[in-house]
Amino acid sequence: MTPLREVPPVHRFTTDPSVARYDALLGHSVVRSQVQAVLDEMRASLRAGSTSQLSLDDLRRAMLARLAAAQAAGLVRVINGTGVLLHTNFGRAPLAPAALAAASQLGAGYTNLEYDLVAGKRGSRYERVSAQLCELSGAQATFVVNNCAAAVLLVLDTFARDREVVVSRGQLIEIGGGFRLPDVLRKSGAKLVEVGTTNKTYALDYRNAWTPQTALFMRTHPSNYRVEGFTAEVDAATLAALAKELSVISFEDLGSGALVDLTPFGLPHEPTLREQIGAGLDLVAISGDKLLGGPQCGVIAGRADLLDTIKRNPLLRALRVDKTTLAALSATLALYLEPDKLEEIPLFAMLKATVSELRARAERIREAIENGPKGPLLQVRVCDTESTTGGGTLPLHCIPSAGIAIGARELKPDGLAEYLRRGSPAIVGRVEETELCIDLRTVQPGEDQELILALTRFSQH
Ligand SMILES: *Cc1c(COP(=O)(O)O)cnc(C)c1O
């Protein structure tokens, strides 16, 4: 039995390099308290009469497990090997270097966020980004809020409070995270008027639903599901024309919000913001961190007079974005305005990568691991996979891709997956039968080396 007085002191561990490594990540006092907690547990179990012999190594292992868990509970960098390009759990779109530089430069000091430098007086934080969005979409005016959900809420709250909103039964969506259109409508004080059926809605259904209380004809883009087969929807142009005729506002929650045609990237056609504005819709809402490839935010685009009304809604104050978001969004939009720079946006670089490029990367990773120390502990092979855009965009569409499939001797793929998830950076893949699959389309090219390092370290642990 280990006598109580032989429980080692805290500094014995906090000076150990494998533990001290966490100082930079968590702060020394957090590390110290985690180490202390393991030692306290040991003392408690000795007092309770435990006879187990715990070596220094056992203790260190317990501490490292706690520290890794503490680290994983905070925001850490993740290497995304799932092949889901806009994974909502992983923060959707990675930002372009130019967007990060802008956010860092403007976030570090003061900016003219709400100051007109020429006139020397108060200005608007949205002016520059708004001009870029108008140019890219053809809209008269635009406005940026916290996310697309906020954009929808703001439009409904501004125009439909105590009035009626007509929506097709085929478009009464739940986006995920509990954002269900009927609930949002109720919250904003609007009355939902459902028309049509799940599979078929006609223009006449909207016309018949019109009353003097109608504020909006609303469309939602089925960004995360498909209604296929015997179906009919009212297209944006038809709905916009009907709304105009009946003097109500036409509004589309476009969600995924592509700004450019995605077919050159091998994706199915997605309606762009410009197309929907061009179809005559009065207002369109999109998300900033889906197919736009920018920071989390939402954009409302459309008629200038309606945007002016929205800007007077007191709710706006609670939904506005900060300077770093605006800086990142504006820098991302600047890349759209110079078409040869589009692939500086990581989303487009990931889409553009060919299967043979990905296979070549996979082959290099396989070789490095095979030639590494004790390589045979892991079996790595190059495999074909399928990526998806994810994040509630382009449902059911698969993008051919390639990656590595890893089998570990003496360990189930779930165990290997857990080991990699606990690393720094964390690595997340997909378990497929007996292997862990890492799709390289969503692994940034600069991360291949870290992947090799983590897998080599696994062979040695
Ligand atoms: C994703 C999505 C939203 C929500 O967007 P956030 O930016 O995540 O708030 C709203 N509507 C549709 C149609 C969507 O696809």
Note the pLDDT of residue 461: 59
> In whole angstroms, what is the distance from residue 291 CA to residue 256 CA?
6
Q: Does residue 389 have its Cβ closer than 6 Å to ligand 1?
A: no
Q: Does residue 158 have its Cβ closer than 6 Å to ligand 1?
A: no
Nearest atom of ligand 1 to the alpha carbon of 223 = 15
Two structure tokens written together for 38: 């393991």
> Looking at residues 203-209, what average pLDDT do you find?
97
Q: Does residue 148 have its Cβ closer than 6 Å to ligand 1?
A: yes
Pocket test for ligand 1, best of 144, 179, 225, 254 (most atoms within 8 A of CB): 179
> In whole angstroms, what is the distance from residue 307 CA to residue 317 CA?
15
Chain segment 34-54, per-residue pLDDT in tens: 999 999 888 888 888 887 777
Note the pLDDT of residue 1: 47
Two structure tokens written together for 387: 């990526």
Pocket test for ligand 1, best of 180, 219, 276, 287 (most atoms within 8 A of CB): 287
Note the pLDDT of residue 456: 86
User: What rounded mean pLDDT belongs to the chain?
Assistant: 92
pLDDT at 460 over 70: no
> Looking at residues 297-321, what average pLDDT do you find?
96
Q: What secondary structure does DSSP assign to 363-392, as a single string?
A: HHHHHHHHHSTTGGGEEEEEEEEEEB-BTT
Identify which of 216, 211, 208, 168 has the alpha carbon closest to the alpha carbon of residue 188: 216
Alpha helices in 283-389 (DSSP H): 304-311, 316-319, 323-336, 346-352, 355-371
Q: Does residue 294 have its Cβ closer than 6 Å to ligand 1?
A: no
Strands, sheet with 298-302, edge to edge from the N-terminal-most edge strand: 141-145, 298-302, 283-287, 249-255, 214-220, 164-168, 191-195
pLDDT at 424 over 50: yes
> In whole angstroms, what is the distance from residue 352 CA to residue 345 CA?
11
Whose alpha carbon is nearest atom 2 of ligand 1? 255
Q: Does residue 392 have its Cβ closer than 6 Å to ligand 1?
A: yes
Place of tokens 């095979």: 370
Nearest atom of ligand 1 to the alpha carbon of 92 = 8
> Looking at residues 307-328, what average pLDDT do you find?
95
> In whole angstroms, what is the distance from residue 273 CA to residue 283 CA?
10
How many angstroms is it from 175 CA to the middle of ligand 1? 6
> In whole angstroms, what is the distance from residue 341 CA to residue 336 CA?
7
Note the pLDDT of residue 134: 98
Choice between 218 and 71, residue whose per-residue pLDDT is larger: 218
Note the pLDDT of residue 124: 84
Residue 459 — pLDDT band, cuts 50, 70, 90?
A: low
Q: Does residue 390 have its Cβ closer than 6 Å to ligand 1?
A: no
Strands, sheet with 378-387, edge to edge from the N-terminal-most edge strand: 378-387, 399-408, 435-439, 430-432
Chain segment 226-253, per-residue pLDDT in tens: 888 899 999 999 999 999 999 999 999 9
How many angstroms is it from 386 CA to the middle of ligand 1? 24
How many angstroms is it from 127 CA to the middle of ligand 1? 24
Whose alpha carbon is nearest atom 12 of ligand 1? 255
Most confident of 289-303, 365-379, 411-425: 289-303
Q: What secondary structure does DSSP assign to 443-456, as a single string?
A: S-GGGHHHHHHHHH
Nearest atom of ligand 1 to the alpha carbon of 149 = 9
Residue 374 — pLDDT band, cuts 50, 70, 90?
A: low
Q: Does residue 271 have its Cβ closer than 6 Å to ligand 1?
A: no
pLDDT over 70, % of the chain = 98
pLDDT at 58 over 50: yes
Instruction: Tell me the whole-structure pTM to 2 decimals.
Output: 0.88
